[in-house]
């Protein structure tokens, strides 16, 4: 319940409030594979968020679907740390398919905010996020 409250309700409610005060372009970090019909809670929740944001009808909605987020975390996540460690020696073309540094994701989001697409709803997958940096 806490996960859904934070990852779904807070995001959708913040978007609705932003729209109510005139926000025309909303950007959101979703997840690789987001799908409202998934049986996996995380992927399903992200897919539901995307659908609910589309219903708010912003002039522009940019949905970022990064893969593994590469960053140093304060909290301990041993399995995630192991996966991140495995990504480091991988060729850059491989990394671009499934992972991104959080600094690069943020830079891409700023660039998209400054240069919105002509599409009403734009879903930007991990490898295309790199094109926005």
Strands 68-70 and 25-29 come out as unpaired
Residue pair 87/66 in contact (Cβ under 8 Å)? The answer is no
Assess whether 130 carries a catalytic annotation: no
Catalytic residue selected from 5, 10, 42, 54: 42
The active-site residue out of 5, 10, 36, 46 is 46
Burial of 33 (0-12, 13-18, 19+ CB in 10 A): middle
Are 114 and 84 a contacting pair, CB within 8 Å? no
Give 59's Cβ-side CA count (13 Å radius): 10
Is 42 assigned a catalytic role? Answer: yes
Spatial neighbors of 72 by CB under 8 A, at least 6 apart, are none
Catalytic residues: 42, 46
């Amino acid at each position: 319940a806490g996960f859904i409250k934070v990852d779904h309700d807070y995001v959708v409610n913040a978007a609705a409030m932003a729209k109510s005060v005139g926000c025309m372009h909303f950007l959101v970090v979703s997840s690789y594979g987001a799908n409202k019909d998934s049986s996996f809670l995380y992927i399903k929740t992200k897919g539901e968020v995307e659908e609910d944001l589309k219903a708010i009808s912003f002039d522009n909605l940019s949905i970022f679907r990064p893969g593994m987020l590469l960053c140093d975390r304060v909290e301990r996540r041993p399995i995630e740390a192991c996966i991140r460690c495995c990504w480091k020696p991988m060729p850059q073309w491989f990394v671009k398919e499934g992972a991104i540094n959080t600094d690069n994701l943020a830079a891409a989001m700023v660039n998209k905010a400054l240069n919105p697409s002509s599409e009403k709803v734009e879903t930007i997958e991990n490898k295309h996020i790199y094109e926005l940096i």
